[in-house]
């Protein structure tokens, strides 16, 4: 829907970015730009083509996306599971709520030094950080979703004397599927952000490391090329997930966007 | 209601104690080497030592100051720019799509750019925090203004209100719930970026101190730093939720 609106807006939406690009190009040409921190749009395009064709961009993107996907799957999976349990059993919620509320505000980046010490650099450290970062919001969203399930459905399951697993499979999961997907969608965007942050801060792999290296090598064109690509990856990811969401849950999506 | 809260608090505290006890058991049994994983007593001792007489108090204040300054900057710029763009339909049509396009960009990806311009300085960290925390507030303000009841705009035309009066008297109050929620999100982002910025630029603060602690295998100091960071995050979001409830009381009464 966001993309549709972008194209509906047509020339109005495209005017500002186009103006900025033209202005930057003209300014760069007029001033004969020679800089360690700025680059003209045409140089950025050339640098982008260069990293695209030597394969470094694809490799870095793959590394980042793999870590983000693994962390996201782990975090959202575990978080949703815990959240469902907390939503179903009052007593579990009462027991764990305080601990969760105390652990939740710890910023994920504070875990970078710990995981660095315990796991060293590499994929596993990044995945663990992302998974922990995704865990808390998934718990909260899944718990809220379960508590929102129509109480009469729960009464039906009692009357039918469904066992725990049957109740989960036949009543609860179908009812909260749209919210679970919503939580996955939010987490995917956030996981990409965390992945890039971890790579910029510590972990020598992926897109974050690529942009950091371009800066330290004083190649501004390559740096901006990476920046724009990181933005584009995030944008395409959200576009893709929005599309899937519309396909899978057409009715609910309309409710959600209002 | 009161009894419910008490029960929840008692049960919650119980679990917390169980967790801390389990933590103690795991570390006492040396399942994980104490070099990497300190027990609760060592973490607590290091926390007390650092906060009373140690360098940690100063580092905490430095981080909090950075976070709050960046957040205030972002809030002021975000709400002001958002109001200017949001109040006019034409500006929204032209500018909002570009802003939406920039939104998914991770704020931390701006750090290399900021380093290229400002070097490893306090200003660099501040700019990164302000820039990262800006987006939620900016977009929330624009969305809040766009979602204002259209009849209110008609009312403002009939009353002959100036643009500033429309912003101040009609649009801002009606966008308030969205803006306040985004302020809380912005504070979380500010804390994260303050820590990342300190780690990368080696500015004095908790981020730099926990990174140094981990490099020297001072795991107790590291865990103490994480506890303080969690406490900062908790206090910040609690304070803002309290402010949110106070400020939106008129709205709750209306419903």
Residue A66's H or E segment, with its range, is helix A56-88
What is the rounded average pLDDT of the residues B4-23? 87
Of the pLDDT bands very low, low, confident and very high (cuts 50, 70, 90), residue A82 is very high
Are A227 and B113 an interchain contact pair (Cβ–Cβ within 8 Å)? yes
Q: Residue A253: its pLDDT value, please? A: 45
Q: Residue A258: its pLDDT value, please? A: 34
Residue A22's H or E segment, with its range, is helix A11-30
Q: Are A127 and A216 in contact (CB under 8 A)?
A: no
Q: How many Å lie between the alpha carbon of A68 and the closest alpha carbon of chain B?
A: 13
pLDDT tens digits for range B87-139: 888 888 888 888 887 877 888 888 888 988 888 888 999 999 999 999 989 99
A64 CB neighbours in chain B (<8 A) are none
Of A135, A75, A126, the C-alpha closest to A104 is: A135
Q: Residue A254: its pLDDT value, please? A: 46
Are A223 and B116 an interchain contact pair (Cβ–Cβ within 8 Å)? yes
What is the rounded average pLDDT of the residues A37-56? 86
Q: How many Å lie between the alpha carbon of B163 and the closest alpha carbon of chain A?
A: 23
Q: Residue B104: its pLDDT value, please? A: 77
Are B15 and A200 an interchain contact pair (Cβ–Cβ within 8 Å)? no
Of residues B102 and B63, more confidence is placed in B63
Tokens of A155: 């009464």
- List, in sequence order, the alpha helices (H) in chain B: 2-28, 40-51, 56-87, 89-102, 110-118, 122-146, 150-159, 163-165, 172-201, 206-215, 219-247, 249-254
Q: Is the pLDDT of residue A25 over 90?
A: no
How far is Cα A91 from Cα A86, in angstroms, rounded to an integer? 8
Q: Is the pLDDT of residue B229 over 90?
A: yes
Q: How many Å lie between the alpha carbon of A34 and the closest alpha carbon of chain B?
A: 14
What is the rounded average pLDDT of the residues B148-166? 82
Q: Are B222 and B213 in contact (CB under 8 A)?
A: yes
Q: Residue A9: its pLDDT value, please? A: 57
- Give percent of chain B with pLDDT exceeding 90: 30
Length of chain B: 255
Q: Residue A219: its pLDDT value, please? A: 87
Of the pLDDT bands very low, low, confident and very high (cuts 50, 70, 90), residue A256 is very low
Q: Is the pLDDT of residue A2 over 70?
A: no
Of the pLDDT bands very low, low, confident and very high (cuts 50, 70, 90), residue A14 is confident
What is the rounded average pLDDT of the residues A171-191? 89
Q: Residue B74: its pLDDT value, please? A: 94
- List, in sequence order, the alpha helices (H) in B147-171: 150-159, 163-165
Are A112 and B115 an interchain contact pair (Cβ–Cβ within 8 Å)? no
Q: What angle do CA A111, A116, A117 make, to 5 degrees?
A: 105
Distance, CA of B104 to chain centre: 17
Residues 6+ apart with CB under 8 A from B152: B170, B171, B174
How far is Cα A234 from Cα B59, in angstroms, rounded to an integer? 34
What is the rounded average pLDDT of the residues B76-80? 93
The least confident of A72-86, A157-171, A231-245 is A157-171
Q: How many Å lie between the alpha carbon of B152 and the closest alpha carbon of chain A?
A: 19
Q: Is the pLDDT of residue A237 over 60?
A: yes
Q: How many CB atoms lie within 10 A of CB B31?
A: 9
Are B233 and A116 an interchain contact pair (Cβ–Cβ within 8 Å)? no
The least confident of A41-55, A61-75, A125-139, B185-199 is A41-55
CA distance to A190, A220, B60, B128, B196, per residue, from B107 (Å): 11, 18, 23, 7, 11
Q: Residue A7: its pLDDT value, please? A: 52
Q: What angle do CA B60, B73, B100 make, to 5 degrees?
A: 115
What is the rounded average pLDDT of the residues A67-94? 92
List the single best residue of A85, A110, A225 to mutate versus B (max B Cβ within 10 A): A110
Q: Is the pLDDT of residue A255 over 60?
A: no
- DSSP for A143-197, written as a single string: HHHHHTS-HHHHHHHHHTT--HHHHIIIIIHHHHHHHHHHHHHHHHHHHHHHHHH
List the single best residue of A5, A93, A105 to mutate versus B (max B Cβ within 10 A): A105
Task: Classify the C-alpha dihedral A240-A234-A214-A129 as positive or negative.
Answer: negative
Of B81, B64, B83, B77, the C-alpha closest to B187 is: B64
Q: Is the pLDDT of residue A6 over 60?
A: no
The least confident of A68-77, A182-191, B92-101, B202-211 is B92-101
Residues 6+ apart with CB under 8 A from A34: none
B32 CB neighbours in chain A (<8 A) are 118
B225 CB neighbours in chain A (<8 A) are 110
Tokens of A67: 């870590």
Of residues A90 and A142, more confidence is placed in A142
Q: Residue A151: its pLDDT value, please? A: 83
Q: How many Å lie between the alpha carbon of B15 and the closest alpha carbon of chain A?
A: 6
B196 CB neighbours in chain A (<8 A) are 109, 197, 200-201
Are B98 and A16 an interchain contact pair (Cβ–Cβ within 8 Å)? yes
Tokens of A43: 């140089």
Q: Are B230 and A105 in contact (CB under 8 A)?
A: yes
pLDDT tens digits for range A207-230: 999 999 988 888 888 999 999 999
By Cβ distance, the residue of B15, B98, B188 closest to A95 is: B15
Residues 6+ apart with CB under 8 A from A184: A72, A76, A241
Which residue of chain A comes nearest to B132, CA vs CA?
A193
Q: Is the pLDDT of residue A70 over 90?
A: yes
Please tell me what DSSP assigns to residue A205: S
């Amino acid at each position: 829907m966001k993309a549709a609106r972008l194209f509906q807006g047509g020339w109005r939406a495209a005017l500002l970015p186009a103006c900025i690009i033209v202005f930057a190009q003209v300014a760069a040409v007029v001033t004969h730009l020679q800089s360690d921190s700025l680059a003209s749009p045409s140089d950025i395009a050339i640098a982008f083509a260069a990293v695209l064709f030597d394969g470094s961009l694809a490799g870095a993107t793959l590394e980042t996306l793999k870590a983000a996907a693994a962390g996201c799957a782990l975090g959202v999976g575990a978080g949703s599971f815990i959240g469902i349990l907390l939503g179903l059993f009052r007593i579990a919620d009462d027991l764990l709520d305080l601990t969760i509320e105390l652990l939740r505000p710890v910023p994920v980046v504070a875990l970078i030094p710990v995981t660095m010490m315990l796991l060293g650099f590499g994929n596993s450290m990044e995945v663990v950080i992302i998974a922990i970062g995704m865990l808390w919001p998934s718990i909260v969203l899944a718990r809220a979703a379960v508590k929102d399930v129509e109480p009469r459905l729960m009464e039906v399951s009692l009357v039918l004397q469904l066992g725990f697993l049957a109740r989960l499979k036949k009543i609860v999961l179908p009812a909260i599927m749209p919210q679970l997907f919503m939580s996955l969608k939010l987490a995917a965007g956030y996981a990409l952000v965390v992945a890039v942050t971890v790579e910029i801060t510590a972990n020598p792999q992926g897109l974050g490391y690529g942009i950091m290296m371009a800066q330290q090598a004083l190649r501004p064109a390559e740096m901006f090329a990476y920046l724009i690509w990181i933005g584009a990856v995030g944008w395409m990811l959200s576009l893709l997930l929005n599309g899937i969401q519309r396909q899978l849950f057409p009715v609910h999506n309309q409710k959600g966007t209002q | 209601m009161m009894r419910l809260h008490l029960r929840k608090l008692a049960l919650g505290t119980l679990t917390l104690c169980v967790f801390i006890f389990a933590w103690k058991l795991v570390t006492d049994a040396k399942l994980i080497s104490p070099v990497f994983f300190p027990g609760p007593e060592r973490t607590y001792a290091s926390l007390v030592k650092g906060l009373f007489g140690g360098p940690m108090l100063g580092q905490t204040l430095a981080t909090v100051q950075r976070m709050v300054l960046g957040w205030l900057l972002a809030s002021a710029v975000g709400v002001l720019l958002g109001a200017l763009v949001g109040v006019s339909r034409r500006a929204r049509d032209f500018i909002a799509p570009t802003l939406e396009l920039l939104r998914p960009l991770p704020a931390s990806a701006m750090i290399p750019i900021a380093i290229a311009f400002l070097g490893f300085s306090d200003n660099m960290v501040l700019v990164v925090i302000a820039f990262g925390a800006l987006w939620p507030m900016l977009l929330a303000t624009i969305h809040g203004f766009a979602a204002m009841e259209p009849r209110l705009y008609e009312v403002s035309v009939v009353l002959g209100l100036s643009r500033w009066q429309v912003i101040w008297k009609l649009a801002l109050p009606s966008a308030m719930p969205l803006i306040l929620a985004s302020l809380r999100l912005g504070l979380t982002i500010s804390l994260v970026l303050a820590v990342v910025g300190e780690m990368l630029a080696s500015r004095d603060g908790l981020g730099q101190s926990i990174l140094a602690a981990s490099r020297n295998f001072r795991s107790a100091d590291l865990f103490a730093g994480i506890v303080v960071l969690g406490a900062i995050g908790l206090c910040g979001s609690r304070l803002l939720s309290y402010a949110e409830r106070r400020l939106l009381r008129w709205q709750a009464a209306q419903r």
